[in-house]
């Protein structure tokens, strides 16, 4: 079903078809009719159309490292959320502890970014990064509003990691996604 | 239009066009689905029996900029954005930053945070900002967040930047400002 623009009623016979269209069908397009979960929220998916969304999250607390100077998933399967349903955009927040394990310097950083796999690649422009090479595992946080994705129910949002040089290590990773 | 409390129907009620228009047409037009105009907006409340769809947005400025100002100033590229809200705005902000001239000490640092003008003006302030004393050429990224409450209206949020003094220059790059109207 879809939303029908509410009509202006006039005095006279009120046919069932009008009530079904105006009351039944339109009520079925509202938020209470579409609510399926606890702790959800509603977004617009287009003109006179809404959908329920949920805040999604995943975490990975183990220590791992990478020597890649371009962004990689770094752990098997990646730290990712699959099957994210959205109407073309989403907000991602991520955090991790990190340090430069080898080749620490004032110009060598451990970097943590985020991608929508196959649609928007991880980038330095929204990556959290630190030069910390003291094994202190400094925590950083990043965020990005991914737009222009096209509506989907199968997108994957994934944390991505790289080092400036040598090896960088990471741990206590968390990823939160607000689909829009 | 505005929401009308749904009436309680009784037997033998006469269904007049005016009652149906108020109870069905006008109230349907106050629902969230009626107010949805484009994808990617959030349902928020604007008061009793009133909902609107609001759109989060992010603005960025990649270019590196510097300042020696000891009071908060806007720098080239901002970023800044203007939003209409129902009395609250969640602000996330971030930048890569460092002390690029001078030495970071216990009392020398660079700072950045949001300044607000419009319905609920508020200058950039220490309690809602990020302060950094690092000098690393790689420029670590730092982020902060704040919720700003006030009256419903329209506000312009702009990142401001300043340094502590002591002969230092602050540098900022890959600046981000994500604003979520509530």
**Confidence check: pLDDT of A136 > 80:** no
CATH of domain B56-181: 2.60.120.1340
ipTM of the prediction: 0.89
Distance of alpha carbon A81 from alpha carbon A155, whole angstroms = 8
Answer whether A142 sits within 8 Å of B143, measured CB to CB: yes
Per-residue b/e over B84-113, b at no fewer than 16 CB within 10 Å? ebbbbbebbbbbbbbbbebebeeebbbbbb
Bridge-partner residues for B148, per DSSP? Answer: B89
Report which secondary-structure segment, H or E, holds A33: helix A31-34
pLDDT confidence of residue A45: 96
SS3 A117: coil
A73-95 pLDDT per residue, tens: 999 989 999 999 999 999 999 99
Answer whether B32 sits within 8 Å of A42, measured CB to CB: yes
B48-74 pLDDT per residue, tens: 999 999 999 999 999 999 999 999 999
In chain B, what are the domain boundaries?
56-181
B contacts of A91 (beta carbons < 8 Å): 56, 178, 180
**Confidence check: pLDDT of B36 > 90:** yes
Model confidence at A135, pLDDT cuts 50, 70, 90, reads confident
Which of A8, A14, A42 to probe the B interface (max B CBs under 10 A)? Answer: A42
pLDDT confidence of residue B103: 72
Say if CB A53 and CB A161 are below 8 A apart: no
Whole-model pTM?
0.92
Bridge-partner residues for B177, per DSSP? Answer: B59, B93
Which of B39, B59, B132, B139 to probe the A interface (max A CBs under 10 A)? Answer: B39
pLDDT confidence of residue B37: 93
**Confidence check: pLDDT of B104 > 70:** no
A86-134 pLDDT per residue, tens: 999 999 999 999 999 988 888 889 999 999 999 999 999 999 998 877 7
Cross-chain CB nearest to B94 (options A6, A23, A143): A143
**Confidence check: pLDDT of B173 > 90:** yes
B105-157 pLDDT per residue, tens: 778 899 999 999 999 999 999 999 999 888 888 899 999 999 999 999 999 99
Which of A43, A85, A98, A136 to probe the B interface (max B CBs under 10 A)? Answer: A43
Share of chain B above pLDDT 70, in %: 99
Share of chain A above pLDDT 70, in %: 100
B contacts of A6 (beta carbons < 8 Å): 24-26, 28-29, 34
Domains of chain A are: 1-34 (no CATH), 52-179 (2.60.120.1340)
Answer whether A143 sits within 8 Å of B38, measured CB to CB: no
Q: Cα A56 to chain center, whole Å?
A: 7
Mean pLDDT of chain B: 93
């Amino acid at each position: 079903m879809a939303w029908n623009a509410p009509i202006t009623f006039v005095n006279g016979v009120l046919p069932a078809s009008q009530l079904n269209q105006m009351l039944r069908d339109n009520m079925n397009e509202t938020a209470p009719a579409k609510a399926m979960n606890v702790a959800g929220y509603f977004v617009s998916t287009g003109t006179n159309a809404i959908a329920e969304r949920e805040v999604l999250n995943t975490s990975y607390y183990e220590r791992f490292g990478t020597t890649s100077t371009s962004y990689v998933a770094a752990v098997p399967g990646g730290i990712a959320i699959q099957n994210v349903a959205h109407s073309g955009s989403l907000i991602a927040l991520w955090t991790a502890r990190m340090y430069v394990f080898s080749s620490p310097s004032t110009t060598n950083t451990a970097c943590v970014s985020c991608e929508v796999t196959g649609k928007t690649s991880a980038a330095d422009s929204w990556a959290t990064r630190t030069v910390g090479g003291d094994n202190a595992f400094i925590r950083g946080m990043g965020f990005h509003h991914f737009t222009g994705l096209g509506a989907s129910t199968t997108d994957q949002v994934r944390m991505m990691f790289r080092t400036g040089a040598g090896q960088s290590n990471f741990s206590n990773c968390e990823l939160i996604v607000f689909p829009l | 239009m505005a929401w009308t409390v749904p009436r309680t129907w009784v037997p033998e009620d006469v269904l007049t066009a005016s009652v149906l228009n108020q109870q069905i047409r006008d109230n349907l037009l106050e629902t969230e689905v009626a107010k949805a105009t484009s994808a990617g907006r959030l349902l928020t409340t604007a008061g009793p029996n009133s909902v609107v769809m609001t759109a989060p947005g992010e603005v960025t400025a990649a270019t590196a900029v510097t300042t020696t100002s000891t009071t908060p100033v806007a720098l080239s590229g901002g970023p800044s954005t203007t939003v209409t809200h129902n009395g609250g705005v969640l602000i996330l902000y971030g930048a890569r930053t460092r002390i690029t001239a001078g030495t970071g000490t216990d009392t020398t640092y660079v700072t950045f945070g949001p300044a607000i003008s419009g319905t609920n003006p508020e200058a950039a302030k220490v309690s809602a900002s990020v302060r950094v004393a690092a000098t690393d050429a790689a420029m670590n990224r730092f982020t902060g967040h704040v919720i700003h409450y006030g009256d419903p209206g329209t506000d312009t949020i702009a990142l401001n930047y300043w340094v502590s003094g002591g002969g230092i220059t602050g540098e900022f790059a890959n600046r981000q400002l994500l604003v979520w109207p509530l």
